[in-house]
Chain A
């Protein structure tokens, strides 16, 4: 079945540095990818929606200059946390929606998430 792969699964970075998280769709072309953030014991919070080849649409309250999203191809989206601070430590999850293939249609598939710790 369809697989969405996120990398890295865990990353520790120093305060002030930038870190990139990749989200790849392995079996299908993802016309739309979503990035979520989850604080401990809370529900997933949508950060932004990205469509291949266009700028991401950010949710209210999410700093677009801090959380850079690039969706340069139909199988890859990246989230870059710039000038990371300890309060950016969180669990980040991507999901992807197929568009072209009939079998994948409108289904949304999730990556396994990435734990970011900023020290």
Chain B
């Protein structure tokens, strides 16, 4: 079993829909990262969480430390949100990555 599990692996939705991507982990962490990777490969760090909830524009990230679970939400989704979203948990030193969720938003 992977230390970091993301679901779903693939998600296709219509423009405007509310999107939720989930991340569960089994190890102790100091922080959790949500990353966005576009087709060109470049990675953008969306959030770093150690507790609670963060919001940036249409993106919301939450984490429940007791349940070892985090969610990334996208409100009013747009085709430009199409990308791979990666959850990564940070231990004492390293990051452990989830497999990624490929999101496609159709116009």
Q: Which residues of A contact B (CB under 8 A)?
A: 32, 34, 38, 42-44, 46, 49, 91, 93, 95, 106-113, 115
Report how far A56 CA is from B11 CA in the complex, Å: 38
**Contact between A107 and B43, CB atoms less than 8 A apart:** no
Distance in Å: Cβ of B105 to nearest Cβ of chain A:
19
**Contact between A113 and B86, CB atoms less than 8 A apart:** no
Residues in A whose Cβ lies below 8 Å from that of B42: 112-113
**Contact between A108 and B43, CB atoms less than 8 A apart:** no
Does B45 lie at the interface of the complex (its beta carbon under 8 Å from any beta carbon of A)? yes
Known contacts: A43-B97, A44-B86, A95-B95. The answer to whether A108 contacts B41 by CB under 8 A is no
Interface of B is mostly: strand
Query: CB < 8 Å: which of B44, B94, B100 contacts A49?
Result: B94
Distance in Å: Cβ of B86 to nearest Cβ of chain A:
7
Known contacts: A32-B93, A44-B86, A108-B90. The answer to whether A113 contacts B48 by CB under 8 A is no
Q: Which residues of B contact A (CB under 8 A)?
A: 30-31, 33, 35, 41-45, 48, 86, 88, 90, 93-95, 97-100
**Contact between B94 and A34, CB atoms less than 8 A apart:** yes
A selection of 12 A-B contacts at a CB cut-off of 8 Å is A32-B93, A46-B94, A91-B41, A95-B95, A108-B48, A108-B90, A108-B95, A109-B45, A110-B43, A112-B41, A112-B42, A112-B43
Known contacts: A44-B86, A106-B30. The answer to whether A93 contacts B43 by CB under 8 A is yes
Known contacts: A32-B93, A43-B100, A49-B94. The answer to whether A110 contacts B86 by CB under 8 A is no
Report how far A49 CA is from B47 CA in the complex, Å: 22
Report how far A107 CA is from B97 CA in the complex, Å: 15
The interface centre, meaning the residue of A43, A107, A110, A115 with most chain B CB atoms within 10 A of its CB, is: A43
Report how far A49 CA is from B92 CA in the complex, Å: 13
Residues in A whose Cβ lies below 8 Å from that of B100: 43
